[in-house]
Amino acid sequence: MKHLLYILTILILASCAGKTPKTESFVVSENVLLPVYYAKGFDILYEDNYKTVVVYNPWNEGEIQQTYFLVTNDTIQTPSDGIKILIPIDNVAISSSTHVEFLNLLGELSTVKGVCTPHLIYNDTLRSRYAAGQIQSLGDAHNVNLEQLLHLRPDVYFAASYNQQDEQAKRLQQSGVNLVFNNEWTEQSLLARAEWIKFVAAFYDKEAIADTIFTRIEWDYQAAEAIAQSVEQKPTVMAGGNFKGTWYMPSGTSYMGRLFADAGADYFYKNEASTSASLALNFETVLNNFHNADVWLNAPTATLNALIQMDERHNLFRSAREGRVYGFYGRTLPDGANDFWESAVARPDLVLKDLIWALHPNLLPDYTPTYIIQLN
């Protein structure tokens, strides 16, 4: 209900601004690109009587990983160098919980018929439908149950591509599955990840609605960022935790590193651009650089006791001793589901506000965080 009200608010605001979102297809001329401002992993081109959706290879810039031709009539002729898919789709399988909120915001959860690792799904609607036998388990995303997937016969199987040589992807494609690469996780900013709602929407013929939803989220994010950038004193931050001798810290160009900057934090590795992934560090390096950090973000445990039990040396950091440690455990379930890895992908505005609440409590005095908690 909360998400429905949010969508209705978006539509009303857009209408008041003189923009009336369409529920039907975009009406565009031939060879027009759908505006994609942040995401680098896909493009959508409107041809004369079909849509071309291009997914780029995350590991080889500029190379096309897969092309999809979306048609509203199966008799429409399309080029041979891609996969033709009849839209709007109404029978979908998903490999990851990160795909769920896009479908929720678009009002298309009812189309989901199969999921991987269902116990990690947080969304109430999908959990209820799974318990009622209306959604099938497809096993683990890295080793999907091909027999069950083929029996389901989904219009598309939304799945992330995890490496350059994805043998499972080849096996699925050879079996005739319409594998659609949803690679939002490879983007380097939260807004870029959230913009993949436009990609998902294309398969439902709902790009106009997706564009309206994303525009509102983008506006909220930028408004929150402007508030955070107004501060004169930026608290120093650290992140992660020591696990089996390695401490993984976000680089400055990763989505988490950029989030720290947008939230008005001072991060030691903010200028580290050698990788967009995590930095693998030893404990001594982290202690040297962050022993006096003001705030510890994205902690690997949900309580301070568990953090110290994980490694007693965690108590050497001032942020731990002073109790200024925060983690994304505000919406979790006993079986391991965590909504931070689900709806937060599509709601960067809420994630940013959560961090501002933790770093600058006086800036958002009436805000109730969604995903983040202060460990105690």
| Model confidence pTM above 0.75 | yes
Higher pLDDT, 274 or 289: 289
Topology of domain 2-220, per CATH?
Rossmann fold (3.40.50)
Write the pLDDT tens digit of every residue in 110-152.
999 999 999 999 999 999 999 999 999 999 998 999 999 999 9
Residue pointed to by tokens 């919406």? 331
The ranges assigned to domains in the chain are 2-220, 231-374
Q: What would the pLDDT profile of 27-79 be if each residue is shown by its tens digit?
A: 444 556 788 999 999 999 999 899 999 999 998 888 999 999 999 999 999 99
User: Each residue of 282-312: pLDDT tens digit?
Assistant: 999 999 999 999 999 999 999 999 999 999 9
Homologous superfamily in CATH for domain 231-374: Nitrogenase molybdenum iron protein domain (3.40.50.1980)
At residue 277, the pLDDT reads: 76
- Report the C-alpha gap between 58 and 33 in whole angstroms: 20
Q: Tell me the average pLDDT of the chain.
A: 90
Taking 60 as the threshold, does the pLDDT of residue 109 lie above it?
Answer: yes
User: What pLDDT, in 10s, does the model give residues 192-228?
Assistant: 999 999 999 999 999 999 999 999 999 999 999 999 9
- Tell me whether domains 2-220 and 231-374 share a fold: yes
Q: Is the pLDDT of residue 372 over 90?
A: yes
Residues near 295 by Cβ (< 8 Å), separated by ≥ 6? 235, 236, 237, 238, 265, 319, 324, 325, 326, 358, 359
Residue 1 binned pLDDT confidence (cut-offs 50, 70, 90): very low
**DSSP-assigned states of every residue in 91-114:** -EEES-GGGHHHHHHTT-GGGEEE
Which pLDDT belongs to residue 2? 36
Taking Cα atoms as reference points, which of 375, 183, 192, 195 lies closest to residue 296? 375
